[in-house]
Amino acid sequence: MPGWVRYKPAADWLAAHRNQTLSANPDSTLDPASPALKLAFENFMQKYGASSGQKTLSAKERELLFAKFMRILTESKAEQAAAR
């Protein structure tokens, strides 16, 4: 998207972890029970929270955010597959 700039902490995290989870097992990355996916999400949330000054999320809020993250990830993967 022209002119769009990714939030710097997110861009840094993505750059550092870009191939780590996907290269390990591309088919399991959309499994919400995947320990690697949960760990990547938790690491991102810790770094994001520390750098953004946002309030600490409750366990319920984190679960809701993770569910939304999974929904977006699944939709994105479906859109990419349809575009091929």
As for how many domains the chain has, the answer is 1
- Indicate if the alpha-carbon torsion angle 72, 8, 47, 25 is positive or negative: positive
In a domain, 55, yes or no: yes
| pLDDT average, residue stretch 45-52 | 70
Give the CA distances from residue 69 to residues 2, 9, 66, 76, 84, in Å, rounded to whole numbers and listed in that order: 24, 17, 5, 10, 23
Of 81, 82, 83, nearest to 26 (Cα)?
A: 81
| Tokens coding 35 | 């320990």
The reported pLDDT for the residue numbered 54 is: 66
Domain enclosing residue 47, as ranges: 8-83
- The arithmetic mean of pLDDT across residues 2-9, rounded, is 81
